[in-house]
Amino acid sequence: MILELDKAEFSKCRSLINDQGQLEAIAVVEKINPGRIFVDNVEHPTSGIIWLGNNDGFIFFGNEQNEGFKKDLNHFVNHVIAPEAKKIRLKWFEAIGNHEKWNKTIENVFKHRKLGKWNQKVYTIRQDQHQGSNEPVIEQGYNVIKISNTLLDNTVNAITNIEFIQSKILEFWPSTKDFLSNGIGYCAIFQDEVVNVCFSGFVANHVHCIDIETLEAHRGKKLAQITAYKFVTECLENKMIPYWDCMEMNKPSVAVAEKIGLINTFNYVGYEFPIEY
């Protein structure tokens, strides 16, 4: 049986996490970012699944050859995950292996489902790898500022859509206060409206996973490139590592990562199938 692990016991899984794998897994296990963990044995786990707190996937970790765990996976998805997913209208189960040996296991266990897959690319850079690049020029009328407590409080209603940036942060963090204590970020402003945001979605071991979004009406103006440049520059100045995780098919995202000097560090495969309520 696959059981949920109490948050106070997350440390039991730390040795099972691949340090060369997804940053998100480390961030949840170390209780920096929210998430849930389900394991084969709550006393001595050997295999498990991390449900990311922003509902952006399930990361499989530990022993991929655990026969009892594999046998219970479909029942777990149907009777534990599906009812929870229905409450939040989550329609897809996105499965990611914390190490590549999980790929074959995921393919075999869920082969009877409508299983699709995609390739994911991870970019990072350290200070000693940085070649330097010119700061992108911003179009007239736009202004880039650092995300701060003053901005998020918006006490004088200086920003007309402050809920956009607040809701983005709360997808990843329990509160904006938690974000400000652990992460960094920048946003682009146009006529008192936040039109782009680039911030630390997950954080662990001085590595900051970038989440970025530009409102549709303002895309094509290099705002993502500009705020990401600011983000990466601050990381490198403070001995932190920026971490950019995007789909290989997302050509604009790949282009931004490469234009600001990030290096493709590793790739992995993601799988998905529709959740049947």
> What pLDDT does 133 receive?
67
- Whether 3-119 shares its CATH topology with 127-261 is answered yes
Q: What does the pLDDT read at residue 129?
A: 78
| Segment 153-167, tens digit of pLDDT | 988 788 999 999 999
Fold of 127-261: Aminopeptidase (3.40.630)
Name, in order, each residue with C-beta under 8 angstroms of 272's C-beta and a sequence gap of 6 or more: 92, 93, 94, 95, 115, 116, 117, 118
Using pLDDT thresholds of 50, 70 and 90, give the confidence band for residue 82: very high
Longest dimension (CA), the chain: 60
Model confidence at 87: pLDDT above 70: yes
- Give yes or no for a contact between 28 and 173, defined as CB atoms under 8 angstroms apart: no
Domain boundaries, the chain: 3-119, 127-261
Residues 125-155 have pLDDT tens digits of: 987 777 666 788 899 999 999 999 999 998 8
Question: What is the tens place of the pLDDT at every residue in 167-193?
Answer: 999 999 999 999 999 999 999 999 999
Residue 268, pLDDT score: 98
State the average pLDDT over residues 36-45: 98
Beta pairing class for 241-247 and 207-214: parallel
Q: The domain 3-119: what is its CATH number?
A: 3.40.630
Calculate the alpha carbon distances from 173 to 168, 187, 222 in Å. Answer: 9, 17, 27
The contacts of residue 187 (CB under 8 Å, 6+ apart) are 144, 145, 147, 151, 165, 194, 196, 197, 198, 199, 227
| pLDDT for the residue 128 | 74
Lowest mean pLDDT among 3-7, 23-27, 135-139, 141-145: 135-139
The 3-state DSSP class for residue 184 equals coil
Per-residue model confidence (pLDDT) at position 132: 66
For the segment 117-125, the average pLDDT, to the nearest whole number, is 97
pTM: 0.94
